Structure 1
Amino acid sequence: MTAANCEIGRNDALTRFLISDPIIKRFGQFEDHETMEDKLKYKFQNGFVDVGDLPCRKHFWQQMANRSVDLNDKPECPHINFANGKRKVDFSGFIYTPTHVQYWAETILHSDKKQSCNFKLSTCGGVRIWVNRKLVTQFTPFKRNTVSSVEISLPLEQGKNEVIVHAEDLFERDTQYFFELILLDDTHLKTYLDGLNEQNLADIEAFTSGLAYNLNVKNHQFYLQSECELPASLSVKGRIWGMSNEEEIDETLTLQSIQIEQNKFCLQLPPTLKPAHYAVELAFQYQGIELKRVCNVNIMPEGKAPAQSSIQARKQNGLAFIAAEGMNTTGKLLALLANKSNPELAASILNRTLQKISLREDCSDFWMVSVLWAWKMSNYTQLPDKMWDRVKSSILGYRYWLDEPGNDAMWFWSENHVLCFHVSQLLAGQYFPREQFLCSGRLGNEQQKIASQRLNLWFDHILENGLTEWNSSCYYPIDYIGLFAIYELSDCDLLKQKAKTVIDRLMIMSALHFQNGVASGTMGRVYEKELMANEMTELAGFGHIAWGDGWHTRMCASLPMFCLSQYEPPALSNEIARLENRNSVEAYYTQGMDKAAKILVWKQAGVMLSSSVDHLTGKPGHQQHLLDIQFAKNPKARVWLNHPGEDTPGGEGRPSYWAGNGVLPRVMQHKNTAMMLFKLNADTRVKFTHIYLPTEALDEVFINEHWCMIKSGNAFVVIGCSEPIERVSQGLTRGREVRSYGEQSAWYVEVGNLSPELNFEQLVASWKDTKVELRGSESSAVAKISTPTEQSFQLSWDGACIVNNQSWSFPPEAGLNPIIK
């Protein structure tokens, strides 16, 4: 056996480590509960909100930042850190309650001489480093989701040097937690992992990093393909968990030998897995070495829901589907109670939900609204009285806002959480007006009065400014939790009318972006999993119930509430969702404070283009999805452009690789054409922009040095770039990603339908030599194109736009109610 090693030089990251199992402990004691200053101004924004440290982090910093960690407490480090292109040693994730997590890491650095080597240490969390068993660094800023950096020096002896790292942080829901070590000196060091065969590790790393796979799984057959062959046999085991907070899934993959043919192999996933988003952790075992890689996949539904003419029939059918197949959440509980079916499952779901509420897990405000709805509709039937007594106890004991004491990781500041907290407080007080609420000490009628005042402030902002999470397939369903609960259950007519107004607006906006049964379009907040399987989103399920086209969805945070309600969408929404009596739709509207999101939509039967223009241009992005192309033929024929927010796909970043933008571009759209200008910062880590290209869902693709042209059904998109483009040919995204490198680039997009006079071959021939020009730099950059159809588009970094020799800007009269042409 020899030591597995690699070499690092100046500006390289040290990522070769052996890692311990996590050391996990719940943090946040009841005696530490306290109230927090209510900084909410009911002026919502997209992105990170600086709300100060929660009580749990204050206590964590006090206890952990300056403590001593005993090196003798280091556990075994049996796991190989598989960086797979990342420069970080990354432990990021999501935990619903305040949780202290620690990892240990160890490696060996070989130096040709005695020297002190300078590294840039960056972390979210806190880090301690020992070299040859001497503590040389203790860096414990513990700033939540904020990167802190320091320059450190590691004293190295000639030859072998043992390096041990202790990393820890407090998880508060979504948590960025990592350390990164970048060598600053002009020298070379070798990194060793003792006890591992160098060649075997190199073989399995090359095999695993070269894996590509289809994100969308059918018949539970998970197909993978690697670029590399292995000279010896390979086995795999693993585990699977759900990527949605709606259902807890934990399945195992038993150890099995892999039969590789032409670099391809197939794994049989458990047949018990129902359509949803899953993380599949594969532990490859090769010649005594185990290497883990997580693959995010979607198990797809089989087909569209049956067509039914009336919305009442679709609501009943939707409730029946959710009761039978929905995720095991309080939304499903409502469907089970409504259908008077499976009381054992209903009791199990309710019991687990009450545990989450009692623990004050993040997102428990969502489920509390459903519990209150269940209380209203139950009339103490179907489930045992003792269960409903426990429900009442949970309602009276919950923490409904910042002015009530607590030490938890619940998030009170985004527009969807604010709504659900206030609705929970409103209905709880309404149902128990004379009962005392334990956390606040108030009576229920006081809770109801306070919640009513707060809800009116929320509605005042939303009715004036709209939503920062515009068109979001993951957050509109959460908004609907609160809105439908007010509409159906509140005894305040004014709040009911305000809720209906907002629901109507959401339905119209969703209809504009509804394309042949799926929810698509530009969005204020999104995640990769929703972008890549949009027929499974709950918003697509809303579209089916509202307009009679689309898929049943197992996601059921609020869909059962729609089905149980008396609400019917505006007639206009059906017309624009399904293009009834229309050849196309062109619309303009705004969302967010100061009209931050200026949204344009152009839709024909075959394809849709939508964007948010002039949105925070040049600033760091969050989860804003600014430009979207959706074909009608295949729901997965969805194409977009963005600047990656992190190094590799499937990460926990906000923004991530595909969802959001590291740096927001200048965007302008005119009808079925658009242009994007990207200007990356000198210190921006990812130096390319790219196209998401779902090849398996497209009919034809043409790519040359500057153009990517796509055909789906009878529709097309042409995408041109001022800089050279290249199709990725290695790794996870090979064949499915087109990149353009450089700090400045201009992209042009045009969509439309083919005709007898213009087929795809003719389209390619007419466009392939067209130039997208980009001149100037910084604030003087100007991009322009003259198209084969004698159209012209010019966009400046300062926002000036000229289309067909006429100045064009987003219509200043556009407001919350869309202008629809």
Structure 2
Amino acid sequence: MTAPRFAETTSATDFTVAPGETVTAWAMSPVEARLYPGEPALAEDRVNYRFVNGFVDVGDLPCRVALWRELETRRVAFRHHFEIDGLYLPGFNRRVEFSGFWHRPTRLARWLKTELVPAHAGDYVFRLATCGGVRIWVDGVECAVFEPFRRNRESETEIRLPLKAGGSEVAVLTEELAERDALWYFELTLLGPDRLTARLPVEISGATVGLLKDLAAEVRPDPLHVRDGRLRLRVERPASVDVTVRGRILPSVHMSDKPPLLDAVGILESGETLVELPGADALADGYHPLELTFAVGDNRVTRHIAFATFAAPFRDFSDRTLAERKALALDYAAANGEARIGRAIAIMATGRSADAMVHAIIADTLAAVDERRDCSDFVMVPLLWLYSDYRDGLPEATRREIRRAVLDYRYWVDEPGNDVMWFWSENHVLCFHVSQYLAGRLLPEETFSCSARSGAEQARLGEERLSKWFDSVERHGLAEWNSAAYYPIDFIGLLALEHLGDGAIKARARALLDRLMLMIGLHTLAGVPAGTMGRAYDKELRAGPLTELAPFATVAFGKGWLNDGVAALPMFCAGSYEPPETACAIVEPEPGKALTAHYVQGHDEAARLALYKTAAVQLSSMVDGKPGGRGHQQHVVDLRFAADPFARAWINHPGEDDPWGNQRPSYWAGNGSLPRVAQYENVAMLLFDLGSNARQSFTHAYVQSDAFDAVERLGNWIVLRAGRGFAGLLATSPIEATTAGPGAGIEFRAEGRRCGWVAVVGEGSSPADFVTFRDHLTGVSVSFDAAGQLVLDRPGRTALALDWDEGLTVDGKPYVFPNRSLDPAVRHFDAYSF
């Protein structure tokens, strides 16, 4: 199957669709959403404690069983008329997509319509792909029913639609059943026999359609990282009329029931390319998903993008003791933390009384627990900590409510339920087992209603299951290695066990905490935890100092930033756990010195990790992996510079069309097709073979240009300088900078289904040293040899070649990864200086 192409605009409200292109011009109804839980039941326990990143088949949950039963008998009436809520226009996604996150089982539906005008009347053939289910009517007659409803797995079929010469109305009902993160889309690709025109069935001028289309495709925050409190949005072409722009920031997915953090309106005036939305100065520092609606009259287009606010100062606590740093961070979290249960711990731990904020947080936490929302296990653990340590400071009625919620919760799949809590990933398995173990220990004589077990039985079973989890990660390491998103979740469970557990479980938790801190210390540079990651989202990559993990590094190692993240940090600061000295000792290499580290993580050595680090720059790679396989959220090569917290670069193969998308993999986080990767000291090599069916035929580099002192082109090189840190990126295909739209200032593309990249890092202390580095790069080349190996030619230095099947050779000899142990092998030597 070849990847579909974008349709082209012809004139007015018409969009030409040629064979191989998709239909993406639609008028849409509002989304219809309703709770759809099904009947409570036990789930099959498919957890084998061999954790991998990617799709997990968990069987049919009660909501999906209910859906299958409904589909057997339901009839769907054609909806002749529906409210037009907005337009979907070509330009940024070949799919018609509404993916998102729903914490409870939710049935979703949306009606769409367009007019398809063929050159000649007849049957036109389309490939219909979907996550969800689709029904299609042509001129009021149902012509296609395709309802696979496979959770987050695309299905496709071929359909024929009879189209009249003068044009036919085509209506679509797209549906999905959301079980937490849900891919919800359809893709209608024309196969033949001839091209046709898609025409919007609304009263709108061609100029307005063109304007809205360009706004949705090209809008970007300028800058991405807002440091002055002013949120400005830039588009490429001046608006032809005034456009009303509404921006909304919804709370995090863990607090989606709360009001928007921002709901602001601005006017993009005619002739202008920049609009400012007020209110960003009142936002907490963070990486914010932004829902934009562009409106001209009654015609609206919605677009989802993101930006960061960042005003916090760099903090140097290196002259403070760990206890003092913990106390400072607790005070900060108590005053500024997100309104989650961790903030309540911070408030109580600092000796404050249970104020209105604490009671509101507890009420929200109990609602999440009672409704068994997905991710409620993440708040159950700190709730148990709060109850264990600070219940005497809570009113009796509050204590009763907490005990009731704890006793009524569902702790594992062998207890009946009709929720969509995720029991199967590395971090969730830990938090569910910790919850069961600690809840049972706290209430040993009580009966837990969902399982009918006593607390003592729950504690015993939780400990037994925790032992299996520890057996796995102690043998294989973590599938979510270095993850700035999921290490804080691991900390939730492990810190609670270290604080409230007993015996071997407590000791094993402390030992694993030490190992995590060592890995964080290795990959933290100038206060920002970075490096290759087993799982990453855009926010972890684009906004390093704003992750939940960043304040851990600040408290543990003495330098960095504090933010409103309270998922686990207050537990670290309120507890007695102390990071090992070995972790603290490798955070800052001495000037002019470098360290390398090699170790493995993940089941069956899913990741062989290599690190090169100096005080100015670090290069980190996931070596080998599964070349050519479908990626998930693995971040395979990462460059991080000390001079600016956002000075970062990486190379990947985009996993979706939309530069602002959130799929797994997304455009920037993860890889659609995994490369073969090697790293040798200060050089990383990536070899991509995308195959013939790759959705994207290019690979690209992300370079946050405005965070660097210099981003220069030298032949086909991208040459970077941030402070004393230097880097060069080179590909076998010509590299082209993206100059418009979401990729402007960050994206450098290399076309080609087979392509090699190299990254070289170094350092220097003066402008002359940077010139020397540039001169060095002019003598370095990368190419494919006759055998298809990626060869790095750098006169006077070690010869490197990367083979798709055999991996790296160094001076013609096979390179053996130096340490296949979970314990990092660290080596110190002089840095590569110029």
TM range (shorter): over 0.9
- The counterpart of 1:97, out of the listed 93, 104, 114, is 104
Q: 1:815 matched to which residue of 2?
A: 821
1:401/1:83 Cα in 2 relative to 1: closer, same or farther (>3 Å)?
A: farther
SS of equivalent to 1:345: helix
The CA deviation at 1:764 is: 2.5
Confirm or deny that 1:445 pairs with 2:453. Answer: no
Q: State how 1:368-517 maps to structure 2 within 5 Å.
A: 368-381=380-393, 383-490=394-501, 492-517=502-527
Confirm or deny that 1:667 pairs with 2:647. Answer: no
Deviates further, 208-217 or 113-122: 208-217
The CA deviation at 1:790 is: 3.5
* Kept after mapping to 2: 8 A contact 1:82/1:293: no
The CA deviation at 1:263 is: 2.7
Query: What per-residue deviation string (whole Å, max 9, x for no partner) do you get for residues 699-726 of structure 1?
Result: 1112255211111111111111111111
Which amino acid letter does the alignment assign opposite residue 528 of structure 1?
Answer: D
* Kept after mapping to 2: 8 A contact 1:246/1:555: no
Q: State how 1:569-580 maps to structure 2 within 5 Å.
A: 569-579=579-589
- The counterpart of 1:114, out of the listed 121, 126, 129, is 121
The CA deviation at 1:191 is: 1.2
1:223/1:805 Cα in 2 relative to 1: closer, same or farther (>3 Å)?
A: same
- The counterpart of 1:215, out of the listed 200, 210, 224, is 224
Confirm or deny that 1:151 pairs with 2:158. Answer: yes
Counterparts of 2:495 and 2:159, CA distance in 1: 55
- The counterpart of 1:363, out of the listed 369, 375, 381, is 375
Query: What per-residue deviation string (whole Å, max 9, x for no partner) do you get for residues 414-454 of structure 1?
Result: 11100100010001111111111000011111111111110
The CA deviation at 1:487 is: 0.4
* Kept after mapping to 2: 8 A contact 1:767/1:788: no
SS of equivalent to 1:651: coil
Counterparts of 1:324 and 1:412, CA distance in 2: 33
1:510/1:447 Cα in 2 relative to 1: closer, same or farther (>3 Å)?
A: same
* Kept after mapping to 2: 8 A contact 1:709/1:718: yes
The CA deviation at 1:253 is: 3.3
- The counterpart of 2:364, out of the listed 352, 370, 374, is 352
Which amino acid letter does the alignment assign opposite residue 520 of structure 2?
Answer: S
The CA deviation at 1:237 is: 2.1
Counterparts of 1:618 and 1:209, CA distance in 2: 30
Aligned CA RMSD, in angstroms, stands at 1.8
The CA deviation at 1:231 is: 2.6
Percent identity of equivalent pairs: 37
1:65/1:326 Cα in 2 relative to 1: closer, same or farther (>3 Å)?
A: farther
Q: 1:587 matched to which residue of 2?
A: 597
SS of equivalent to 1:145: coil
Counterparts of 1:688 and 1:277, CA distance in 2: 27
1:613/1:65 Cα in 2 relative to 1: closer, same or farther (>3 Å)?
A: farther
Counterparts of 1:665 and 1:452, CA distance in 2: 40
Q: 1:25 matched to which residue of 2?
A: 34
Query: What per-residue deviation string (whole Å, max 9, x for no partner) do you get for residues 35-60 of structure 1?
Result: 11212111111111112121211212
Counterparts of 2:714 and 2:255, CA distance in 1: 43
Which amino acid letter does the alignment assign opposite residue 199 of structure 1?
Answer: A
SS of equivalent to 1:538: coil
The CA deviation at 1:341 is: 4.3
* Kept after mapping to 1: 8 A contact 2:239/2:269: no
Confirm or deny that 1:775 pairs with 2:809. Answer: no
SS of equivalent to 2:192: coil
SS of equivalent to 2:586: helix
SS of equivalent to 2:295: strand
- The counterpart of 2:713, out of the listed 703, 708, 730, is 703
Query: What per-residue deviation string (whole Å, max 9, x for no partner) do you get for residues 357-376 of structure 1?
Result: 00000000111001111110
1:230/1:245 Cα in 2 relative to 1: closer, same or farther (>3 Å)?
A: same
* Kept after mapping to 2: 8 A contact 1:705/1:724: no
Deviates further, 712-721 or 141-150: 712-721
1:517/1:190 Cα in 2 relative to 1: closer, same or farther (>3 Å)?
A: same
Which amino acid letter does the alignment assign opposite residue 502 of structure 1?
Answer: L
* Kept after mapping to 2: 8 A contact 1:3/1:193: no
1:635/1:574 Cα in 2 relative to 1: closer, same or farther (>3 Å)?
A: same
1:139/1:519 Cα in 2 relative to 1: closer, same or farther (>3 Å)?
A: same
Which amino acid letter does the alignment assign opposite residue 819 of structure 1?
Answer: A
Q: 2:743 matched to which residue of 1?
A: 733
The CA deviation at 1:301 is: 3.4
1:170/1:9 Cα in 2 relative to 1: closer, same or farther (>3 Å)?
A: same
Q: 1:224 matched to which residue of 2?
A: 233
The CA deviation at 1:74 is: 5.4
SS of equivalent to 2:69: helix
Q: 1:137 matched to which residue of 2?
A: 144
Q: 1:88 matched to which residue of 2?
A: 95
Number of positions where the alignment pairs a residue of Structure 1 with one of Structure 2: 812
The CA deviation at 1:98 is: 0.3
Counterparts of 2:714 and 2:23, CA distance in 1: 37
1:119/1:350 Cα in 2 relative to 1: closer, same or farther (>3 Å)?
A: same
Query: What per-residue deviation string (whole Å, max 9, x for no partner) do you get for residues 726-774 of structure 1?
Result: 1112211123100101110111111010255953234324423642111
Q: 1:327 matched to which residue of 2?
A: 338
Deviates further, 213-222 or 250-259: 250-259
Q: 2:7 matched to which residue of 1?
A: none
Q: State how 1:65-84 maps to structure 2 within 5 Å.
A: 67-72=74-79, 75-84=82-91
The CA deviation at 1:135 is: 0.3
Q: 2:698 matched to which residue of 1?
A: 688
Unaligned runs of 5+ residues in structure 1 are none
Q: 1:318 matched to which residue of 2?
A: 329
- The counterpart of 1:8, out of the listed 4, 17, 41, is 17
The CA deviation at 1:215 is: 1.9
Query: What per-residue deviation string (whole Å, max 9, x for no partner) do you get for residues 142-187 of structure 1?
Result: 0000000000000011112111000111111100000110000141
SS of equivalent to 2:189: strand
Which amino acid letter does the alignment assign opposite residue 241 of structure 1?
Answer: L
* Kept after mapping to 2: 8 A contact 1:600/1:611: yes
Q: State how 1:746-785 maps to structure 2 within 5 Å.
A: 746-755=756-765, 758-768=768-778, 770-776=780-786, 780-785=787-792
- The counterpart of 1:203, out of the listed 203, 211, 222, is 211
1:785/1:100 Cα in 2 relative to 1: closer, same or farther (>3 Å)?
A: same
Q: 1:292 matched to which residue of 2?
A: 302
The CA deviation at 1:134 is: 0.2
Normalising by structure 1, report the TM-score.
Answer: 0.96
Query: What per-residue deviation string (whole Å, max 9, x for no partner) do you get for residues 210-241 of structure 1?
Result: 32322212233112222212232222223221
Confirm or deny that 1:57 pairs with 2:64. Answer: yes
Query: What per-residue deviation string (whole Å, max 9, x for no partner) do you get for residues 489-534 of structure 1?
Result: 01x2110100011000000001000000001000000000110001
Counterparts of 1:51 and 1:372, CA distance in 2: 28
Which amino acid letter does the alignment assign opposite residue 684 of structure 2?
Answer: A
Deviates further, 40-49 or 600-609: 40-49
1:722/1:16 Cα in 2 relative to 1: closer, same or farther (>3 Å)?
A: same
* Kept after mapping to 1: 8 A contact 2:720/2:726: yes
* Kept after mapping to 2: 8 A contact 1:784/1:793: yes
SS of equivalent to 1:641: strand
1:262/1:22 Cα in 2 relative to 1: closer, same or farther (>3 Å)?
A: closer
Counterparts of 1:246 and 1:512, CA distance in 2: 33
The CA deviation at 1:484 is: 0.6
SS of equivalent to 1:245: helix
